[in-house]
Amino acid sequence: MRPVSELPELPELKDMDRRDFDWYADKLVQVLVFVGGFSAIVFILGIFFFITREGIGFILHSLDIVEFFTSPNWRPTSEQNQTYGALALIAGTASVTGMAMAVAIPFSLGAAIYIGEFAGPKTREALKVLVELLAAIPSVVWGFIGLTLMNSLIIRLFDVPIGLNILNAGLILGLMAAPIMTTIAEDALKAVPDHYREAAEAMGATRWQVTRKVVVPAAKNGLVAAVLLGVGRGFGETMAVLMATGHAINLPTSIFDSVRAITATIAAELGETAVGSEHYGALFTLGIFLFTVTFAINLTADVIVRGWKR
Amino acid sequence: MSESLFAKTALDERNQRVQRFYRRLFLTMTLLLILPVFVILTVLLSRGASVLSLSFLFTNPEQGMTAGGVFPALLGTIFLVTAALVFSVPLGIAAAIYLSEYASDNWLTRLINLAIINLAGVPSIVHALFGVGAFVLFFRFGTSILAASLTLAIMTLPVVIVSTRESLQAVPRAFREAGWSLGATRWQTIRHIVLPNAVSGILTGVILEVSRTAGETAPIMFTGAAFFLPFLPQSVYDQTMALSLHLFVISTQVPGVPEGLPYGVALLLIAVVLVMNSVSIAFRMYLRSRKKW
């Protein structure tokens, strides 16, 4: 054992420090990109915070929660007696979304199955591109189509005085929601491993039998999520619904009735209200309601696809 | 013997008939779903094409928007989209790099992903309310290009994040490992290996975002877009006209608009959006065809 004094000289601590410029750059970037990722959470919380901030005064002081959900009388500009019953608006949104889903669910699932399971590779690519283009048409253009083309078509076909109604907005909304639902549903089908199909085909099953008995059951959760996201989309659509429903407060009894949606009410009335007024707060309260419902729908869809864990 | 073994039984016949029936049914449904695109394009072309001309693009609306062109609205849409991109592209790419390259599989990552899904799923009118509450009032930007484009940026952020993340994840892990094994830091690997291989995919996503942003109406209605302005905006604190809102205004709010005019505006809007989308799709196909791994 040698005495300590004979040990080779230890390097200075600062010479062992290998943290050069690139090391610091790496750390800096790591922080920066984390800020980017975290911003998504900040924005969602920000949306909730700021719409609540504008709506909280109305909720605490003027909102009659029973009236809000049970009265069809939305009269925010009445001289003597303003009432804020959202039932007719909720019914409007629900009826249009329901009509849209009646169209979009069978068609988008059918299209997803054709594109995913039946079509050859070339056809599949072409159809996917067309579906993507369908999804790209802006909602204000859809609204314009509802206002002009669909309106005159419905008047002529069904002999009704006004063509701006649940049927019109529902069809428009169905066509708008269908491409997104098709894409998500097709992704869900594609996620089913090929050896499932091969095993079934080896047993002599036809393509349709494979699809019905093997692929669709295996992709069930993803298909349900696709439908839910379509519902969320229909629920939140604004411009097309504003232009194609007829925008009349109404508890609908048939698909030829004009209705008014929650989103459309906000879009039509926000410009005419004074900041901080009761009416203004009521519109933000509608916004909080919309936010809560769509958040719940998205969360449910996510849980269905991925489960609680992960 | 072998013939009878492989001959179609009655059951086989029936199964194949059923199979053919469903194949045709689903094909018909798919075509019915896609058909409206062509109907809409044909109608807009036949009724709106006569309105479109160079002077339509480059003159101001006249006589209470019942005549003249769309120049301020077209320019306004370009301003809004550009400003929205300035905010959302760097932020979106950073978020995508974090999620693809740094994030581990934990509850925080799950929360971020959930936030992105919700950001895309929140109704556009709620984004508008947020824009009013946050940018117009709280940050005192007023109804301005700045407030409107920030609202648009947050709304379309998920488009950039999702498409960028996808193109980053398409770069094989072996590429990164090669970089790390040479002693490169994580950022050096991303900067010199991952990003160059993903840049065209990211660009595709950005083009897609442009088309989304250009068509949005509800988020800009109360945050910065005006029904009519006789002058062009001078700074980001001014309001501006926009093509999408212009279509809404002249088709619902202004009396006496000649029949062809809104069709022309709709055609212009849809042309901008579809051209952008087609470029993005074509670009993506080109990339896929020359992919080396």
> Is pLDDT above 80 for B291?
no
pLDDT digits (tens, 9 = 90+) for A255-279: 999 999 999 999 999 988 988 889 9
> Is pLDDT above 70 for A293?
yes
Per-window interface: B 169-228 vs A, CB < 8 A: 185-188, 190, 211-212, 214-218, 221-222
CATH number of the domain at A231, please.
1.10.3720.10
- Is the distance from CB of A249 to CB of A74 less than 8 angstroms? yes
- Structural domain contains residue A166: yes
- Structural domain contains residue A90: yes
Q: Which residues of A touch B133 (CB under 8 A)?
A: 50-51, 53-54, 284
Q: Are residues A137 and B40, on separate chains, in Cβ contact within 8 Å?
A: yes
pLDDT interval class at A310 (50, 70, 90):
very low
Alpha-carbon distance A104 to A170, whole Å? 9
Amino acid at A228: L
Domain that holds residue A194: 83-306
Tallying the residues shown for chain A, one arrives at 310
Backbone angles phi, psi at B225, to 5 degrees: -95, 140
Domains held by chain A: number: 1
Alpha-carbon distance A94 to A73, whole Å? 17
Q: What is the arithmetic mean of pLDDT over B221-242?
A: 88
pLDDT digits (tens, 9 = 90+) for B231-241: 788 888 999 99
- Structural domain contains residue A147: yes
Point out the least confidently predicted range of A141-155, A222-236, B251-265.
B251-265
Rounded to the nearest angstrom, the minimum Cα separation between A119 and chain B is: 9
pLDDT digits (tens, 9 = 90+) for B153-193: 999 999 999 999 999 998 999 999 999 999 899 999 999 99
Domain locations in chain B? 10-48, 54-289
Q: Which residues of A touch B26 (CB under 8 A)?
A: 110-111, 113-114, 118
Alpha-carbon distance A115 to A134, whole Å? 15
What average pLDDT is seen over chain B? Answer: 90
Instruction: Write out the two tokens for B209.
Output: 């975002």
Q: How far apart are the first and last CA of chain B?
A: 50
pLDDT digits (tens, 9 = 90+) for A114-131: 999 999 999 998 999 899
> Is pLDDT above 90 for B51?
no
What is the chain B residue with the closest CA to A272?
A: B222
- Angle subtended by helix axes A278-306 and A262-269, to nearest 10: 140
> Is pLDDT above 60 for A290?
yes
- Structural domain contains residue A41: no
- Structural domain contains residue A28: no
- Structural domain contains residue A112: yes
Output the pLDDT for position A6: 67
Using CB atoms, pick whichever of A39, A44, A267 lies closest to residue B118: A44
pLDDT interval class at B293 (50, 70, 90):
low
Give the other-Cβ count within 10 Å of B34's Cβ.
21
Number of helical H runs and strand E runs in chain A: 15, 2
Output the pLDDT for position A309: 56
Q: Are residues B98 and A33, on separate chains, in Cβ contact within 8 Å?
A: yes
- Is the distance from CB of A111 to CB of A178 less than 8 angstroms? yes
Output the pLDDT for position A62: 84
Q: Cα–Cα–Cα angle for A240, B91, B225, nearest 5°?
A: 35
Alpha-carbon distance B224 to B268, whole Å? 21
pLDDT digits (tens, 9 = 90+) for B87-111: 999 999 999 999 999 998 889 999 9
Output the pLDDT for position A21: 87
> Is pLDDT above 90 for A194?
yes
Answer whether B252 touches A (CB < 8 Å).
yes
pLDDT digits (tens, 9 = 90+) for A4-29: 666 667 777 777 777 888 889 999 99
Q: Are residues B125 and A236, on separate chains, in Cβ contact within 8 Å?
A: yes
Output the pLDDT for position A3: 64
- Is the distance from CB of A58 to CB of A278 less than 8 angstroms? yes
**CATH class of residue range B54-289:** mainly alpha
Q: What is the arithmetic mean of pLDDT over A181-200?
A: 93
pLDDT digits (tens, 9 = 90+) for A236-247: 999 999 999 998
Q: What is the arithmetic mean of pLDDT over B23-38?
A: 91
